[in-house]
Amino acid sequence: MRTLAVVVLLAGALSVACEAPSKDPLGRGLGAVRSAAAVGSAPLRCPADPWPVLSHDSARTGTSRGCCSGPLSVAWRFVPPDAVQRPARAQHVIAGPKALYVSGIIGQSPAVFRVSPTGELAWTFDSHVDITRFHWPALVLDRVVLNDDGLYILESRTGEREVNRGLDSWGEVLTDGENLFANNTWYVAGPKLYAGALESGGAPLWVKNEYGQKAEDVMDRVGGLSLSDGVLVQSADYRPSPGSGLFAFATADGSERWRAEIIPRSHASIGGGSVFVLERREGSGEPSALTARRLSDGELLWEVPIASTQSIAPALVRDLLLVRRDDGALVALSAKDGKRRWATPLEPPRDSGMLWATSFAVARGSSTVVAVQGDGFAVLSLSDGKLLWRGTPRGVEKAVHSPVLFGGRLYAVDRKGVVALECGAEGD
Residue 175: what pLDDT? 84
In order along its 428 residues, the chain shows pLDDT tens digits of 444 333 333 333 333 334 333 333 333 333 333 333 333 333 456 999 999 999 999 999 999 999 999 999 999 999 999 999 999 999 999 999 999 999 999 999 999 999 999 999 999 999 999 999 999 999 987 889 999 999 898 999 999 999 877 789 999 988 888 888 889 999 998 889 999 998 888 789 999 999 888 888 899 999 999 999 999 999 999 988 688 999 999 999 999 999 999 999 999 999 999 999 999 976 666 778 999 999 999 999 999 999 999 999 999 999 999 999 999 999 999 999 999 999 999 999 999 989 999 999 999 999 999 999 999 999 999 999 999 999 999 999 999 999 999 999 999 999 999 999 999 854 33
Give the pTM. Answer: 0.88
- With residue 33 as reference, give the H or E element that holds it: helix 29-40
Handedness of CA 263, 247, 325, 419 (dihedral sign): negative
**Amino acid 290: pLDDT:** 97
**CATH assignment of 29-422, given 3.20.20.70, 3.30.2010.10, 2.130.10.10, 3.40.50.970?**
2.130.10.10
CB 96 within 8 A of CB 11: yes
| pLDDT value at residue 177 | 84
What is the predicted pLDDT for the residue at 240? 84
Length of the chain equals 428
pLDDT of residue 45: 67
Among 252, 237, 130, CA closest to 193: 237
State the number of CA atoms in the 13 A half-sphere of 63 facing the CB: 23
Query: Is residue 91 classed exposed, middle or buried when 0-12, 13-18 and 19+ CB atoms within 10 A define those classes?
Result: buried
The span from the CA of 251 to the CA of 357, in Å, is 28
Residue 281: its pLDDT value, please?
78
10 Å CB burial of residue 107 (0-12, 13-18, 19+) is middle
